[in-house]
Copies of this chain bind each other. A is one copy, B any other.
Amino acid sequence: MLRFTQIARQGEARRGQLELNHGVVETPVFMPVGTFGAVKTIEPRDLLSLDTRILLGNTFHLMLRPGADVIELHGGLHRFMGWNRPILTDSGGFQVFSLARLRRMDDSGVLFRSPFDGSEVFLGPEESIRMQRVLNSDIAMIFDDCTPYPATEEQARSSMERSLIWAERSKQAFEGSDNSLFGIIQGGMYPELRELSLKNLLGIGFDGYAIGGLSVGEPKQQMYEMLNIVAPQLPEGRPRYLMGVGTPEDIVYGVKCGVDMFDCVLPTRNARNGWLYTSDGVVKIRNKKYRDDVRPVDEGCSCPCCENFTRSYLRHLYRVNEPLCARLCTLHNLQHFLNLMERIRAAIEQRTFDQLCLEFDV
């Protein structure tokens, strides 16, 4: 099931509630990424204490390891990873192109070599949806062909058209599930192709609509332009998801254009590299200047890292490769992103979202 309710609005920015089989998600929302059935270094109870409402899982990775049968044995991804709140899974399309060695691709799907053991694997819309049904994610994504950047109009068109064929077949394969399925708009950097993609997806009919093929290497300004064109055309009563985005300012800009859902590895991956988001910009904890800095990472932050440890201590952990460092930095960065979403939601309700946009210069 999926029920989406708008409870406030300012300009295009929407404040909503998304009811899913495993619970209610307040939007706009940021979804931490749990690629292999775990947010790296973090337990589900940590995610609960940060008030995470929904996670993203990767079909491609989980299909290869541990494989569908192991997850089926657990009755789905929720039980497997010990997470009772909603999960959205991607379709694996994006990862097939970015991580695997392709063997053959046509309208039926993609034959590729597993980057883990070299075995040949076939993934098409039916296979992706079958795996996502095993995962029992609250929201599944259609299997699509993510148009790379740059792409000629002809390339973008044929990729978008293939995605539409797969969208149709994804929908058929999802028939009978009580979870939800989102369509993904492609079309590269060509507004007319984006419109055509959306029009056809609306014809098929999905529970929500995602914007794919952005944040794939194009200049930020081009992403913003495309977002500004595409997002407001999405149907009003359905949740809107901008895939793989992004930085705090990208998220604020996305919300300004009317997007409800975001996911990105930035807070978690950067944490493992010692990049910490703060209200005063990024702190690169390895920097020598933090050697004697006994302040918390962010004075105003209430995460378990800032409440208990100094920058000096974190820098020490980073230098000596203590695994606790990645965990503390991840807790902090996730808190920072989730706090940002909380601020965004409150700002829309209080009609102060304009000021928040000014603060982020978007």
Listed in ascending order, the chain A residues whose CB lies under 8 Å from chain B are: 36-45, 61, 65-66, 69-70, 73-74, 80-82, 291-292, 294, 304, 308-310, 312-313, 315-317, 319-320, 322-324, 326-328
Contacts and interface: CB of A to CB of B under 8 A. Distances in A.
B310 A74 contact: yes
B66 A323 contact: no
B316 A66 contact: yes
B323 A37 contact: no
A72 to B, nearest CB: 10
Given A43-B304, A44-B308, A45-B304, A38 B70 contact: no
17 contacts: A36-B317, A36-B320, A37-B316, A37-B317, A38-B324, A40-B322, A65-B319, A66-B319, A70-B292, A74-B294, A74-B312, A74-B313, A80-B312, A80-B313, A82-B313, A323-B326, A323-B327
A278 to B, nearest CB: 19
A99 B64 CA distance: 41
A308 B291 CA distance: 38
A303 B294 CA distance: 33
Contacts of A44: 308
Contact of A324 (B41, B304, B315, B322): B41
A138 B74 CA distance: 47
Contacts of A317: 36-38
B37 A313 contact: yes
Nearest to A44: B308
A326 B294 CA distance: 29
A40 B73 CA distance: 32
Contacts of A309: 82
A328 B66 contact: no
A235 to B, nearest CB: 38
A44 B65 CA distance: 33
B65 A324 contact: no
A320 B65 contact: yes
B291 A70 contact: yes
Contacts of A36: 316-317, 320, 322
A37 B41 CA distance: 19
Nearest to A317: B38
Contacts of A319: 65-66
B45 A312 contact: no
A316 B71 CA distance: 10
A312 B73 contact: yes
A289 B185 CA distance: 43
B312 A66 contact: yes
A73 B294 CA distance: 8
A202 to B, nearest CB: 38
A324 B323 CA distance: 10
A43 B328 contact: yes
Nearest to A308: B82
Given A36-B317, A81-B313, A323 B322 contact: no
Nearest to A42: B324
